[in-house]
Structure 1
Amino acid sequence: MSEKNNVNQRVMLTKRLVGEALLKMLKTRNINKISIRELCQVAGINRTTFYNHYGSQFDVLNEIAETYMQNTSFTVINDLAAGKNIDECLTGILQYIKDNLEFIKLVIDMENYDLISRITISLPQFDHMVIKHLPEKLDLKEKKAIASYVQYGTVRLLKEWILTDCLESPEEEAELILKMAGRTIGNG
């Protein structure tokens, strides 16, 4: 059993070293200009070890981004289950984004990470939350279209907020997003 723990700890250490090395390198150059050889050198590992866990530097970036998304969605799901209202949850997410702005901007700038798809996968309840607030007179196809519209609009607002270095506070941005989503849902 302890041998398995040692293996898991080595894997976690290797992935952490590679992730930290990639983030450090991304501060000064584009991901397309980072070679695996250089990445391994900065991380202090050999290429064989790298290829045991990843296929490319993009796989590393995607894994890091996925961890951020899972942390965010896990927090939202728990907060909603604990009875927090949606504006508190959204403000919490926005604060998390603002606190991790440098990384989030790297992911958005690389355009290698499909943010909308990841949000859809990470928060499958999103459509359900929107749909349950729509008038019953609408058919399911219309409800799904409105939910999709709200989701994509929200992601677009988030992206603009991020790219302007979060000029508005997380509370102000949450209020704007909820106001726009509410208008769309209310007009459904």
Structure 2
Amino acid sequence: MNSKLDRRKKYTRMVLKESLMKLLKAKSISTVTVKEICALADINRSTFYSHFSDQFDLLNQIEEEIIEDMNETLMAFHYNQDEESLQMTERIVEYVAEKSDVCTTLFSEHGDSSFKKRVMMVASEHTVKNWLSIYPIDPEISEYVSIFAISGSINVLEDWLKNGMDKTPKEIAEIINNLTNKGLSYLQG
């Protein structure tokens, strides 16, 4: 009996999340209503409120799942050489590809603008520590280096999603990794 309730609860949450994502493709979170989400999900409002307090809470739950997944992915790597760095970057790009629909929506103008900042913070926490252990970066400028590399990487991912993922995750990971680790000098051969 409990497993049936758990499955029903998971299904309800999944349908509500999918419905919100569909609505966010066309409009911003501030204009989405619980009534619209419920109508699209074919779920009554009392059921919605038994899971989430409002549309912002639902969006926050979706974002938290992405952040947690990214954190777990990044924690699995403790790279100290370029090869491991590339593997980590490739895994993140593969994750973005797997969740392309959600990531495209969350990074769009209709998503929550703070989400991109949160993603950058998670990436920064993991990468700066590793960069400092590999490269002798002046601690006074390490934050700037991190912001530059991470915001550039996120923008590359956003563009890649907008372009219909026209390159493989491995190709995008190599571009990001080379630019991050070698700068524009890697283009010169």
TM over 0.5: yes
Taking the aligned partners of 2:12 and 2:142, their CA distance within structure 1 comes to 45
Where does 1:25-104 land on structure 2 (aligned, <5 Å)? 25-26=23-24, 29-32=26-29, 34-78=32-76, 80=77, 85-104=84-103
Residue type at the aligned position of 2:112: N
TM-score (norm 1): 0.75
Residues 148 and 131 from structure 1, CA distance in 2 versus in 1: closer, same or farther, beyond 3 angstroms?
farther
Aligned residues of 2:34 and 2:45 also touching (Cα < 8 A):
yes
Taking the aligned partners of 1:82 and 1:17, their CA distance within structure 2 comes to 38
Aligned residues of 1:19 and 1:60 also touching (Cα < 8 A):
yes
Match of 2:112 in 1: 112
- Identity of paired residues, percent? 20
Residue type at the aligned position of 1:105: T
Residues 91 and 53 from structure 1, CA distance in 2 versus in 1: closer, same or farther, beyond 3 angstroms?
same
Question: Deviation digits for residues 112-140 of structure 1, max 9, x if unmatched?
Answer: 1522323413662222112222326x2x2
Structure 2 residue 132 is the aligned partner of structure 1 residue 131: yes
Match of 1:155 in 2: 154
TM-score (norm 2): 0.75
Where does 1:16-27 land on structure 2 (aligned, <5 Å)? 16-26=14-24
Measure how far apart 1:98 and its partner are: 1.8
Gaps of 5+ in 1: none
Residues 134 and 51 from structure 1, CA distance in 2 versus in 1: closer, same or farther, beyond 3 angstroms?
same
Measure how far apart 1:6 and its partner are: 7.8
Aligned residues of 1:87 and 1:174 also touching (Cα < 8 A):
yes
Measure how far apart 1:173 and its partner are: 1.1
Taking the aligned partners of 1:124 and 1:11, their CA distance within structure 2 comes to 34
Residue type at the aligned position of 1:22: L
Aligned residues of 1:18 and 1:43 also touching (Cα < 8 A):
yes
Taking the aligned partners of 2:147 and 2:104, their CA distance within structure 1 comes to 24
Aligned residues of 1:69 and 1:122 also touching (Cα < 8 A):
no
